Amino acid sequence: MQDYKAVLKQIGMKFRIERVKQSLSQEGFVELANVHTNYIGKVERGEQNLTVKKIVELANSLNIPVKKILTID
């Protein structure tokens, strides 16, 4: 059984990895996703509890499949 905080950190790390692969700064990601800079920082640190809707929106803004974010080790 997994702890939800650990899962949030894994999801956040996957968003960070994908952002960096695309050579995007957090500010660049913010512009694509139309969210606040603090929000992206919290997501990437695993501090923001995400809704399914927000996960889909963030993945779409990076043009990556949702399953790439939700495949947890």
Q: Which residue has the tokens 């963030």?
A: 58
Q: Is the dihedral of CA 29, 16, 37, 7 positive or negative?
A: positive
Quick one: which of 40, 45, 41 has its CA closest to 58? Answer: 40
Residue 56: pLDDT over 80: yes
Q: Which residue has the tokens 């512009």?
A: 31
* HEC letters along 3-47: CHHHHHHHHHHHHHHHHHHCCCCHHHHHHHHCCCHHHHHHHHHCC
pTM of the model: 0.92
Q: What would the pLDDT profile of 6-27 be if each residue is shown by its tens digit?
A: 999 999 999 999 999 999 999 9
Q: State which CATH number among 1.10.260.40, 3.90.1260.10, 2.60.200.30, 3.40.50.720 fits the domain covering 4-65.
A: 1.10.260.40
Q: What is the pLDDT of residue 72?
A: 80
Q: What is the pLDDT of residue 1?
A: 73
Is residue 52 classed as helix, strand or coil in its secondary structure? helix
